[in-house]
Amino acid sequence: MVSSFGPQKIELAPAKKQSAWVSSLMPSRPAERRTTDAGMAMRATATVRTNSIGSSVRPVASGVPATFIDNPPHDSRIVQEEQFGPVIPLIRYTDLDAVLVSHLHPDHFIDLVPLRHYLRYEFEPPRRVRVLAPRGLADRLDALHAEPGFTAEALDCELLGPARRIGSLSIETGLVAHTDESYAIRVAAEAGPGLVYSGDCGRATDLVPLIRQGDALLVEAAFGPGPVLDGVLHLDGPAIGELAAVTRPGRIFLTHILAGRDPDATIAAVRALWDGPVEFVWPRTQLDL
């Protein structure tokens, strides 16, 4: 919903420091569950620049009227294209139950640093979040900052391995060939298909025990159409196609492709062995499962 007001009624909020982590979590949050802060506003110039929201913006002497944007749809241009300033804090995540980390390569956990700062400094009292991860996560984050206890000030770390429930969701994991302790993860509600995430995985058959027929499979395709370099523990399109032919997931979502690998050729490589739906997900893709 977008509303326009006279500029004299607007209190402009400054840009917030947490934009990086909010941005990184954006794909995972359904729009209707976001909460917005009525005190947040964005610069009117941004509204005009994106020019896609159909409000009754009209130029005034100083430029354009200031404009509130309340709970914008996730796929709206104002969310996807306007990144320079305070629009990011419009989208708040106050209902994050837990973060699951598949393994301890930095591309899979480094966003916990801005999340920790956000929880620690943007709320009074500070908030905390459960983080389920392989052993050693807190030590790595603490070492990164040369500050013992850095992680524990906002993140409650638990071992990811054992099956459990989080709210209405069941969580199952399976070890996969990648690091010494790398997990694939299945998340599912009571009924209906689950979502199986491969993490980084060097042997597709490691995923077989987790995948139920009809599940959505979010799988790394680091080496695109292939082949995977010798001795490197990642997947490629042919390996994923073979896996799908055996496990019959409902849908396949590809991710984590290395720069220079061709996404279209990767999809073709999967489809050569699998006749179900397969597509890439990119930053800010939102899935309804």
Query: Considering beta carbons, is residue 105 or 164 the nearer one to Zn ion?
Result: 105
Amino acid of residue 229: L
Residues 8-27 that bind Zn ion (CB under 5 A): none
Q: How far is the CB of 141 from Zn ion (least distance, A)?
A: 17
Q: From start to end of the chain, where are the E strands?
A: 2-4, 67-69, 98-100, 129-133, 155-159, 164-166, 169-176, 182-188, 195-197, 216-220, 251-255, 278-280
CA distance 69 to 39: 11
Chain centre to alpha carbon of residue 278: 19
Q: What is the DSSP string of 48-62?
A: HHH--S------BTT
In the bound state with Zn ion, the residue whose beta carbon lies nearer, of 154 and 257, is 257
Determine the Cα–Cα distance for residues 214 and 56; give it in Å rounded to an integer: 46
CB of 183 to Zn ion, least distance (A): 11
Q: Are the CB atoms for 206 and 184 separated by under 8 Å? A: yes
Residue number with CB closer to Zn ion (113 or 268) = 113
Closest to Zn ion by CB, 89 vs 174, is: 174
Largest CA-CA distance found in the chain, in angstroms, rounded: 65
Q: How far is the CB of 111 from Zn ion (least distance, A)?
A: 13
CA distance 186 to 174: 9
- CB of 192 vs Zn ion, minimal distance in Å: 28
Q: If binding means CB under 5 A, how many residues of this protein chain bind Zn ion?
A: 3
Q: Is 77 in the site for Zn ion (CB under 5 A)?
A: no
Minimum CB–partner distance for residue 162 and Zn ion (Å): 22
Place of tokens 């607007």: 10
With beta carbons less than 8 A apart as the criterion, state whether 237 and 271 touch.
no
Shortest distance (Å) from residue 105 CB to Zn ion? 3
Q: Which of residues 94-133 bind Zn ion (CB under 5 A)?
A: 105, 107
β-bridge partners, 67:
4, 42
**Least CB distance from residue 174 to Zn ion, whole Å?**
16
Our CB check for Zn ion shows the closer of 155 and 222 to be: 222
Smallest distance from Zn ion to CB 288, Å: 25
DSSP strand E in 101-241: where? 129-133, 155-159, 164-166, 169-176, 182-188, 195-197, 216-220
Of the two residues 107 and 190, which places its CB atom closer to Zn ion in the complex?
Answer: 107
CB 66 within 8 A of CB 5: yes
Question: x/- site string to Zn ion, residues 189 to 228, per CB under 5 A?
Answer: -----------x----------------------------
Q: Say which residue the tokens 């301890």 belong to.
A: 104
Nearest to 160 by CA among 116, 200, 100: 100
Cβ closest to Zn ion, residue 31 vs residue 177: 177
Instruction: Give 107 or 288: the residue with its C-beta nearer to Zn ion.
Output: 107
The binding site for Zn ion (CB under 5 A) comprises 105, 107, 200
